[in-house]
Amino acid sequence: MFSLRLGKPVKVVLAAFATLALTAGSASARVVNFIELANEAGIRMTADNGADVTKLGSEVFYLSSPFVPSGYPVDATVNQIGTSTSGFEALINILESPGGPLSDQVWLHHINSVFTVIDFISDPAQFVTSVAPFATVVETGSLQNVLNYTNDQGGNVSIYVQSDIPEPATALLFPIALAGLLANSRRQMKKAASV
């Protein structure tokens, strides 16, 4: 009797999993990572299809679908990031701190209304100011998701960014904090000795 009650919900769950598996198998999915190298040494782009391109000494990286018009400065191409038929474009502003200055941008847009491109921009002179931001995130220094969208083939694309957070300033905080703790403990010991 117990197995009969459990049988129907289990069949429903199994059917749902089978549908999800078929849907996932037919749709394309792509993960793209932009990693800013320390001390503005360049940008590395990796994707889950094995693409791995490092552009040294640059603060801008141009990623495109494989078919792109001549003259566009492509640094790498990745399949399945979509085409303009999806109609979706987005500018993501990445801030150094909450309410702080703009650090980086990710700009998903189209060239000649046909070609999907994703630009990672870390150069203030090249920041996009003519487009309203779709979203604003605060950098953490670790790889963080900044945008998810569905391409025109029905596949999911996820874009991650790891911004370079200046470490020297952070590293200076530790000795200052340690000196403060030592000074405070000395004061406490002097106070206890005089009582």
Q: How far apart are CA 30 and CA 13, in angstroms?
A: 27
Q: Are 66 and 77 in contact (CB under 8 A)?
A: yes
Q: How far apart are CA 110 and CA 67, in angstroms?
A: 12
Global pTM reads: 0.69
Q: In one letter, which amino acid is 121?
A: I
For residue range 129-146, list pLDDT tens digits in order: 999 999 999 999 899 999
For residue range 23-68, list pLDDT tens digits in order: 333 345 799 999 999 988 999 999 998 999 999 999 999 999 887 7
Q: How far apart are CA 47 and CA 25, in angstroms?
A: 18
Distances (CA, A) of 104 to 20, 96, 122, 123: 35, 8, 4, 7
In the chain, domain spans: 29-176
